Structure 1
């Protein structure tokens, strides 16, 4: 196995990173770019042996890192953020080639957010705490103790940003980490290991094990020495992880799929509504939060559809490295086939494609045309199941009550978007929606101080702000009786 590859001129080590060392595996797997189908490298394929070694390294490093003063942990996290800033262009280029998302988005939004994740949780660590309180004269003192080694299993659609959303609070809390990145987009995790080492993070505090979920991921999920598991991905994989974690009652945080609604009322700013709807094609629709179900008041549905069609027609689909591109490829041939299967079955069942409806044959490769389907039944597969591609459905409603009922009528509850010009209506509707996040007249406004997670099959638990520390720590309350102290003077 060649231990390094070069992507867009950037050298990337393709081995695991365990206890501060690069470790090869007996087997590898191919990483292929969705941009042009070119091989990016042969990646070390971890198994239970590598997972065990990484957990052992994290376990050995835990006491020292946990005992490190908060100010020093925060300093190291800020140094990692500085390292991300210095390598922002490298990280953006590699991730675009690895998962096909827009280079301009990586440069302007995603990689700056990666650095912000570390800085935010460094700051949050230093402000973590609450005032003591008394109970019948007894003092209650709440503390957040590091839990131990954490297994973080992350997805391919925003690899580095979503990984650091977990890594940063876990490290800030005083824990050690074993990261298992998605096999379809593992490269920036390897670069992050280099950045962390350069920032002075001690060996064993951050480990990266590459490989398949059924091998490396399964070994981490069922490991008896792992104290926390955080996973972002599919419901099916979450069931496997939680079953393995149950053997040791390992606390698990899950951010899973979505089938989020976008409700457009007749009093809405229609141009805003159309802009928000078209925005759901971002990252070729490979966004868990995407509002893929457009629910539109029947009185404005025809005009909404006309404007939406015109607006969507202006989107530029093509090479994600080009500044003018709005929609790039999907991540993998299996994902393209999955998306197309959903659409074909919907069309066969009577749905109508207003736009799109299949792969972009002129571009070839992994490009799927932005698609809007109408004439879909509420209980149909295309309405009920997550597609995770550039595919939206449009349904109409007559009343506010019907809109809410349609919005809540899935197994998911990750997010929802409401577009209305009536503040009282917004308050009434948002109070009734089942969702972890609700946006009103906006979309994808995220603040790390806010809780994030889903309801129903969209997840278990909340992370962000103090909620992250609540998960990554053993929260302790110490109750002390008044008086009775000996004088040692």
Structure 2
């Protein structure tokens, strides 16, 4: 639907429930990233006036409003759950050839054919173009043949034992509610739709802060896939609203089975407790605090490239490097190379080539973490200031300089907040252990990784096979391990999300949503007319 007010054409998206668009009397207006960067005060004022109804969309400056999304009424939110509960009863019984094979094929085709469109939607959210391309490549990796073959094997395995047909399968949990984060709502919502081939129905909350990309992509790209597969209406529902009231509705509803939550650790762990108390499965995607170990024989140029990924999106990504632990023999050389790369990064509009830095709306936590680190003995190597769109240093600018800290010694490193916790801005501590015997030092480095409170991804850069083997064998935290590879690239044979510790909560692990939102069932079938089974048959067969 498009609002044509005689002056401008504003794309308008409604809630989507039971296979139908549902109107409401309230809208959230989405403004272009360029307009916000050029004049944030005027843009915020315009947005408030439009949403309060004190300004007509016809009076908005042309090209500033990119779209609007309807805010779901409470009864629409409730109806979405009813619709999902009805739909999953049919969908979970659909053959795997339809709900899995057909889905994976059509998803990959759709993402490939609409890649440019998805990149555009991500840029509307403020993601730099190059970063948006990387995010879409992650969706393609989730649907690649190797991943699909593994997942299908997990969903259904069948064999014959003593004349019985034995099946091990994963059965859908039922209704899965997904609440994506404000910083990356579109790709997180797409990840949430990977619950569908497991037989689940999904309700997605489009966040009020950035609802347009989520609602558009699901409504116009994912819904047609389900239509082509013959999925029942209500299998995918999209509602925009405030997180608090909607989460309360989901927690209190007997229709909801799982809640997939993206967000900060305190809020996520609180939700986890509420879910468990309500008998629902919490699937958490919380903070990351990834460690990269650089050994003395590492390829330093490639390692420095990987560490510079810490600054992509201005550090506002969960799976980037958050800290490096570097062998003292090569620390000076590596830090010099990393500094060169940090200085080469520049701010800019999301649609400009070569831009990797995103705006950081609040700088208070960055300044707090930086001050704590320097007061605790860390050395500021480069960065440490706010800057304007043109790169001029300015504490009130939208951007932050990529910042490198040097931290001496492992012993007190975690006393610094910038090491102990996720930073979520462009601040990378490089920890340099005191010189020691290599065997003892490697012991300490692996212990340091394993005692991290978080666990999303961990990396090592080394050439010595014995060092690599020990790191792989003994690193127990995280959902992914990378060896001599880009830290953020989608190259490991598992998804980008999911982890241990504070990253994934008490039930955390690598997150294929299809597996996390299903449960195992063992089935034994005796053919009609066979001899009557006995309770001791299984015992005799396996004794």
TM-score (ref. length: structure 1): 0.86
262-271 vs 308-317, which deviates more?
Answer: 308-317
Corresponding position: 1:388 with 2:424: yes
Residue 497 of structure 2 is aligned to residue 450 of structure 1: no
SS of corresponding position for 2:241: coil
String of CA shifts for 1:261-303, please: whole Å, max 9, x gaps.
Answer: 1111111111121111112212221121222111111222111
In structure 2, the residue matched to 1:178 is 203
**How do 1:70-469 residues align onto structure 2 when only pairs under 5 Å count?**
70-73=96-99, 74-75=101-102, 78-98=105-125, 100-106=126-132, 108-114=133-139, 117=142, 128-132=155-159, 134=161, 139-168=165-194, 170-192=195-217, 193-199=219-225, 200=227, 202-330=232-360, 333-334=361-362, 336-361=363-388, 362-363=390-391, 365-375=397-407, 377-397=413-433, 398=435, 399-433=441-475, 434-442=477-485, 443-446=487-490, 449-450=493-494, 453-459=498-504, 460-463=507-510, 468-469=513-514
Please say which of residues 265-274 and 247-256 is displaced more in the overlay: 247-256
**1:149 and 1:227 in contact (8 A); partners too:** yes
Asked if the contact 2:462/2:468 (under 8 Å) is kept, the reply is yes
Deviation for aligned residue 1:171:
1.2
Task: Supply the distance in 1 between the matched residues of 2:242 and 2:470 (Cα, whole angstroms).
Answer: 45
Quick check: 2:387–2:401 contact (8 Å CA) kept in 1? yes
Q: Is the 8 A contact 1:295 1:394 kept in 2?
A: yes
> Cα deviation per residue 1:50-70 (whole Å; 9 max; x = unaligned)?
321211111122223233333
Structure 2 CA distance for aligned equivalents of residues 166 and 297 of structure 1: 39
Query: C-alpha displacement at 1:177, in angstroms?
Result: 0.6
Evaluate the alpha carbon distance shift between residue 84 and residue 403 of structure 1 in structure 2; reply closer, same or farther with a 3 A threshold: closer
Q: Deviations over 1:210-235 (max 9, x none)?
A: 22221223322442211222223221
> Partner of 1:132: helix, strand, or coil?
strand
Please state whether the residue corresponding to 1:292 is helix, strand or coil: strand
Pairwise CA distance, 1:392: 0.5
Indicate the SS of the match to 1:312: helix
Q: 2: distance between equivalents of 1:111 and 1:340?
A: 32
Q: Which is further off, 52-61 or 176-185?
A: 176-185
Partner-residue secondary structure (3-state), 1:216: helix
* Deviation (angstroms), 1:46: 4.0
Structure-2 separation of matches of 1:441 and 1:133: 43
Q: Write out per-residue CA displacement over residues 298-337 of structure 1, whole angstroms, 9 at most, x where no aligned residue.
A: 222111111211222222322221112232323xx24x44
Tell me if the contact between 1:95 and 1:185 (Cα under 8 Å) persists in the aligned partners. no
With over 3 angstroms needed to count, the CA separation of the structure-2 counterparts of 1:295 and 1:164, relative to structure 1, is same
Identify unmatched segments of 5+ residues in structure 1: none
> Is contact 2:124–2:213 with CA below 8 Å preserved after alignment?
no
Unaligned runs of at least 5 residues, structure 2? 37-42, 48-64, 436-440, 533-543
Is the contact between residue 287 and residue 502 of structure 2 (CA under 8 Å) also seen in structure 1? yes
CA contact (8 A) 1:82 1:115 kept: no
| Partner SS for 1:189 | helix
CA distance in 2, matches of 1:5, 1:87: 26
SS at match of 1:210: strand
Distance 2:107 2:464 in 1: 45
Corresponding residue number in structure 1 for 2:61 = none
CA displacement, residues 370-394 of structure 1 (integer Å, 9 cap, x when unaligned): 1112247421212111111111011
Checking the alignment, whether the CA contact within 8 Å between 1:146 and 1:473 is kept in structure 2 is: yes
Q: How many residue pairs were aligned?
A: 475
Q: 1:4 to 1:104 in 2, by over 3 A?
A: farther
For residues 440-474 of structure 1, give each alpha carbon's deviation from its aligned partner in whole angstroms, at most 9, with x where no partner exists. Answer: 1112343585265211111133355xx64433223
3-state DSSP of counterpart to 2:240: coil
Given the two structures, how large is their TM-score scaled by the length of structure 2? 0.78
Secondary structure of 2:399 counterpart: coil
